[in-house]
Amino acid sequence: MSNQVLKGVRIVDLSMGWAGPLSTRNLADLGATVIKVESCTNFDWWRSWEATQEWIDDDGAEKALPFLYVNRNKLDITLDLESKEGRELLLKLVASTDAVVENFSGSVLPKLRLDYPELKKANPELIMLSMPAFGATGPWKDFRAYGSTVEQSSGLPHLVGHADQSPTMQHIAYGDSIGGLNGTAALLIALWHKRQTGEGQFIDLSQVECLFPLSAPGILSQSAAKETPTRSGHNQEIDCPHGVFPVLGEDRWIFVHIKTDQEWQIFSSLVDELSDLNDLTLVERQRMSDKLFASIADWSSQQDGHVLMKMLQQNGIAAATLNNSDDLIENEHFQSRGYLQWLERAFVGNQPHPSPPWRNGTEAIKIKEPAPTLGQHNAEILKDWLGLNEAELSGLEKRGIIGNKPRL
């Protein structure tokens, strides 16, 4: 797959954090020109939640690794959108843009007079992807939310954890990552529709609703049986054993999933403590799962995780060691696929970046550029694209409309 399939597509990215920037980064990886718009006082919150003068002086805005991960292959300009000049320049940029992406709560852009009806006046064929946590309509449309807010609202924590404990939060912002992937899909469909018809459209994407497929078992159980599913920890109602077990080393683990009675017979023949339980059915295994899990843990704790994983896989059993961050960087499988690409970036040096997970050959799609610095492309876009001269550019900087350093 070429990394230029979207060459010629232009996206204005007003989004911050993870969800919106991930959706546009995926398009940038495929060759779209993505212009990230920040300001010196309202910069992407993944650069920092709270700015201090010490942080500014230390170039902290350029050292936030999560920001670097979701903003590679993009251009970056700064515009004070609360100012008349900044707003007018954005509208001028939008006039020659295919799509705009934002993930603010519902009240933000209308206050700036930069919501879809206003932007569409500048570009009648514009696509706009709006990604607020709870969608663009409904009584919650103006509610603020972050990753954990979205996770709780989706109902997912009620399905995760142990029955005798409170609901478990994952703290990895599923709504952002899954919302970002759904945002990419929505943009690709809208761009295809525009290519066929010339029509733009407004896309209302709710990050919470993107998580509902993960909560579907609970929703269906509640609807059909009027019962809330029981949290079962590592276990599940369908298969047994299904869980995480210790292996040799500090905080080292392996996941084992036995799907069929035949797999159980193979697995139990490998474990001396289970050899006399070779003919247990699924129902019998479920009834004595505590005993089985204890026996498996006693056995697995004496095994090397990687050796055990390969042995189980060779016997047709789904098993995987739990990788930490160092494991992923050194992993022989991902290295063989060239999954991590190392990019030199100002202020942070050489950093690994995960490749796009899709490819149609043996080579990963090449990452062209690391994430931009704040306002890095002000001159290129405002002069070369919008026709401003040096004096106008200098005036904008003196009035604080543009810049390349955060301000308090």
The pLDDT, as a whole number, for residue 1 is 59
Q: What per-residue confidence (pLDDT) applies to 2? A: 65
Q: What is the model's pTM?
A: 0.91
Determine the pLDDT at residue 221. 73
Token pair in block for residue 172: 């990895």
**How, if at all, do strands 340-345 and 349-354 pair?**
antiparallel
Question: In DSSP terms, which residues pair with 255 in a beta bridge?
Answer: 244, 320
Q: Which of 371, 321, 344 is nearest to 70 (CA)?
A: 371
Sequence spans of domains, the chain: 10-213+338-398, 253-321
Q: Which amino acid is at 155?
A: G
pLDDT of residue 44: 96
Which DSSP string do the residues of 295-318 spell out, in sequence order? HHHHHHTTS-HHHHHHHHHHTT-E
Placement of tokens 């980064």 in the chain: 25
pLDDT by 10s per residue, the chain, length 408: 567 899 999 999 999 999 999 999 999 999 999 999 999 999 999 999 888 999 999 999 999 999 999 999 999 999 999 999 999 999 999 999 999 999 998 889 999 999 999 999 999 999 999 999 999 999 999 898 888 888 888 888 777 777 778 777 777 788 899 999 999 999 999 999 999 999 999 999 999 999 988 877 777 777 777 777 777 666 666 899 999 999 999 999 999 999 999 999 999 999 988 989 999 999 999 999 999 999 999 999 999 999 999 999 999 999 999 999 889 999 999 999 999 999 999 999 999 999 998 888 888 999 999 999 999 999 999 999 999 999 999 999 999 999 999 999
Instruction: Extract the tokens encoding 60.
Output: 């902290």
Residue with tokens 């142990």: 162
Q: In this predicted structure, what is the pLDDT of residue 235? A: 66
Q: Which two tokens stand for residue 127?
A: 């696509």
Amino acid 248: pLDDT:
97
CA 335 from centre of chain: 22
* Sequence-distant contacts of 349-354: CB under 8 A, at least 24 apart: 351/65, 351/68, 353/68, 353/69, 353/72, 354/69
Sequence-ordered list of residues with C-beta below 8 angstroms from that of 228, at least 6 positions apart, any chain = 158, 218, 221, 222
Q: What is the model's pLDDT at position 151? A: 85
Using DSSP, state whether 236 is helix, strand or coil. coil
Q: How open is the CA angle 328-369-354, to the nearest 5 degrees?
A: 15
Backbone angles phi, psi at 117, to 5 degrees: -55, -35
Q: What is the CATH code of the structural domain delimited by 10-213+338-398?
A: 3.40.50.10540
